[in-house]
Amino acid sequence: MKNLLMLSTLTLSLMFSSGSWAEWTQVSEGVNSSVKMYVDLERVRKVNGLVYYWMLQDLLEPSSTGTLSTKIYYKADCETMRAMNLTFTWYSVPMAEGTAAGTYTPDPEWEYAEPDSVLETTLQAVCAH
């Protein structure tokens, strides 16, 4: 019984730890390789003509606030190449592992992908999936 309880606890902790449930695919890299962008292609969802996806930004060095990674949930329109940030979560460790340092829900606004931008590259990967 004790082993069953330990196994259940371990399974639940692995399911709900932020980094363990995602298979991140790198889609872009920032200037001087200071930030890498990843998308969880296995969790891309298409609903009523829109696409929902998770993006992870992993920083080489911490920001001035101590952030080393962020995880963002987006809603996207592939026909118009625009996206809307639904939630923004930041972490003080790489690859959005462990407990989040904070979460923010921004006002819903569409952002249009500029040519040769990180958003355009990300949307191309997500929309083609």
Mean pLDDT, the chain, whole residue set: 85
Helix (H) or strand (E) holding 77: strand 69-77
26: nearest Cα among 96, 97, 101, 122: 122
Q: Residue 44: what pLDDT?
A: 96
Which stretches of 17-105 are DSSP H helices? none
Q: Residue 103: what pLDDT?
A: 97
Domain 22-128: CATH architecture, name and number where available: Beta Barrel (2.40)
- Alpha-carbon 74 to chain mean position: 8
- Alpha-carbon 50 to chain mean position: 17
Q: Mind listing the pLDDT tens digit for each residue in 19-64?
A: 455 799 999 887 777 899 999 999 999 999 999 999 999 999 999 9
Which stretches of the chain are DSSP H helices? 2-16, 118-128
Report the alpha-carbon distance of residue 11 to residue 7 in Å, rounded. Answer: 6
Least confident of 6-15, 68-77, 89-98: 6-15
Q: Residue 99: what pLDDT?
A: 94
Say yes or no to pLDDT of 17 above 80. no
